[in-house]
Amino acid sequence: MEIIRDNIEKSEFLVHRSVFADKEILARERAEIFNKCWLFIGHETEVPEKGDYRRKKVGGRNLLLVHGQDDVIRALYNTCPHRGALVCRENEGNARAFRCFYHAWSFKNDGELVGMPGKDGFPKDFNADGTKNMKAVNRFESYRGFMFVNFDEDAISLDEYLGNAKEYIDLVADQSESGLETLGGIQEYSVRANWKLIAENSVDLYHGMPTHKTYFDIKQSQDADLKRVKLEGKGVQLDNGHGVMEYVAPWGRPIAQWTPIWDDNLKKDMEEIKEGLVERFGEERADRIANYNRNILIFPNLVINDIMAITARTFYPTSPGYMEVQGYSFAPKGEPDAHRKARNTNFLEFLGPGGFATPDDNEALELCQEAYNNNTEVQWNDISKGMSREGGALATDELQMRSFWRQYNAVLQESYNKEVALK
């Protein structure tokens, strides 16, 4: 199966459109990608206290992220070891124990079975091997508060998997000495498009100006000094299919780039934050943290946007042409109200469900999917931008997307090759 054509000599990179519409390919993605890669489950600040829990859907599984009385955070499979019912039906809360709706088996918040009606029907050592406890996902690791699960027991460590993408996560996490926290609530929406389209779109600065023109026109009208909107920086191919673009942009960043639509007081605050960063990290790194934006794609389905607000996004296919998306928003712990307000305005204006970005992006993705579903005579997508450029890719090039596709292709080809070897 020819998935990509990666022609360095000709500076041409093509992706076969069947990968967006084919059911057999989706089944293979589930087996080879979603069952084997590290998948984002949430941020540790979502369950800060003992007993805190949140229901999560990750890689198609119903999970329960729970902070146990023993102070350990776990991802439990949210299914009753008795006959399978979903044990926890609330989206979030705080509980010492969970009781199954069906036959009322109950479990401590570390998953251990502690009660069952009609005990006399079972032997005393019924749960001696622990198989009647709620099962935990064994591979559960975190980096700087970002927590991941892996359904493959033999997977490499999260640390190794993230590789040099950690440098960019650090730039986000280092923004605040007190650490980042998630803001209440998760945005959930679905898009009639293949999941890989949002992976591409999230590290695609090329589409910024045309797709989000209205937003940039508004930015220009708000800032008399802004003669020309510039989005300048670099695109980087990272380890294991990850990618990033890092660039300057005209919008305000609550860490620590002031914009004229904000209150004048905030200008001083932003300068102070910047000074603090210079003290902690030196001029160059402080400038990167404060004034550079970064959109990080962690293969296969996590995007961390550190732009006019800090967000994360994860997505999963329910069919080749349909995905469910979850959006998170982050901010420094204990941020002053005025900063939080500026951050939230920024977020809503561009990234929120009624903002200038998300609805337009989703429209673009659905327009593409329409062709993959129906115009099957046209077979290849072009992702070549920047391949012929000397001296490294720009942020508006497509190298960071090629990183994703190269890994994607490697994983799927390996699985095809194994099959051939078995025949």
By CB under 5 A, name the binding residues for Fe ion.
357, 361
> 361 contacts which partner out of ligand FES, Fe ion, none, CB within 5 to 8 A by kind?
Fe ion
* 320 and 21 Cβ atoms separated by less than 8 Å: yes
Tell whether the torsion through CA atoms of 32, 301, 353 and 43 is positive or negative.
positive
Which one, 103 or 267, has the nearer CB to ligand FES? 103
Task: Tell me which of ligand FES, Fe ion, none is bound by residue 100, counting a contact when its beta carbon lies within the kind-specific cut-off of 5 to 8 angstroms.
Answer: ligand FES
Q: What's the closest the beta carbon of residue 313 comes to Fe ion, in angstroms?
A: 12
- Binds 83: which of ligand FES, Fe ion, none (CB < 5-8 Å by kind): ligand FES
Does 100 bind ligand FES (CB under 6 A)? Our answer is yes
What does the block give as tokens for 417? 């090759």
Q: Which is nearer to ligand FES, 103 or 119 (CB)?
A: 103
Phi, psi dihedral angles at 161 (to 5 degrees): -65, -45
The smaller minimum CB distance to ligand FES, of residues 14 and 87, is found at 87
Q: For ligand FES, which is the closer residue by CB, 107 or 161?
A: 107
As a whole number of Å, the end-to-end CA separation of the chain is 16
When CB distances are held under 5 to 8 angstroms depending on the partner's kind, the choice from ligand FES, Fe ion, none that residue 102 binds is ligand FES
- Subset of residues 64 to 93 that bind ligand FES, contact rule: CB under 6 A: 80, 82-85
Smallest distance, ligand FES to C-beta of residue 79, A: 9
From ligand FES, Fe ion, none, which one binds at residue 44 (CB under 5 to 8 Å depending on kind)? Answer: none
- Closest contact distance (angstroms) between CB of 130 and Fe ion is 47
Residue whose CB is nearest to Fe ion in the complex, by number: 361
The only residue of 93, 102, 336, 419 in contact with ligand FES, by rule CB under 6 A: 102
* Nearer residue to ligand FES within complex by CB, 134 or 149: 134
CA 294, 228, 210, 408 dihedral sign is negative
If the CB atoms of residues 117 and 184 are measured against ligand FES, the closer one turns out to be: 117
85 binds, among ligand FES, Fe ion, none (CB under 5 to 8 A by kind): ligand FES
Nearer to ligand FES, 117 or 391 (CB): 117
- With CB under 6 A as the contact rule, the residue among 103, 119, 213, 267 that binds ligand FES is 103
Closest distance of CB 323 from Fe ion, Å: 16
100 versus 171: smaller Cβ distance to ligand FES? 100
| Closest by CA position to 169, among listed 144, 149, 148, 147 | 144
Q: Output the smallest distance, CB 73 to ligand FES, in A.
A: 24
Residue closer to ligand FES (CB basis): 79 or 358 = 79
HEC profile of the chain: CCCEEEECCCCEEEEEHHHHCCHHHHHHHHHHHHCCCCEEEEEHHHCCCCCEEEEEEECCEEEEEEECCCCCEEEEECCCCCCCCCCCCCCEEECCEEECCCCCCEEECCCCEEECCCHHHCCCCCCCCCCCCCCECCEEEEECCEEEEECCCCCCCHHHHHHHHHHHHHHHHCCCCCCEEECCCCEEEEECCCHHHHHHHHCCCCCHHHHCHHHHHHHHHHCCCCCCCCCEEEEEECHHHCEEEEEECCCCECCCECCCCCCHHHHHHHHHHHHHHHHHHCHHHHHHHHHCEEEEEECCCEEEEECCCEEEEEEEEEECCEEEEEEEEEEECCCCHHHHHHHHHHHHHHCCCCCCCHHHHHHHHHHHHHHHHHCCCCCEEECCCCCCCCCCCECCCCHHHHHHHHHHHHHHHHHHHHHHHHC
Closer CB to ligand FES, residue 89 or residue 103?
103
Number of residues lying near ligand FES (CB under 6 A) = 10
Closest separation in Å from C-beta 84 to ligand FES: 6
The region of 69-77, 98-106, 150-158, 278-286 touching ligand FES under the rule CB under 6 A is 98-106
Return the one option of Fe ion, ligand FES, none that residue 151 interacts with (CB less than 5 to 8 A, by type): none
**Which of the choices Fe ion, ligand FES, none does residue 292 contact, using the CB cut-off of 5 to 8 A by kind?**
none
Q: Which does 105 bind (CB under 5 to 8 A by kind): ligand FES, Fe ion, none?
A: ligand FES
Report CA 118 to chain centroid distance, whole Å: 45
Residues in the chain: 423
Give contact residues for ligand FES (rule: CB under 6 A).
Answer: 80, 82-85, 100, 102-105
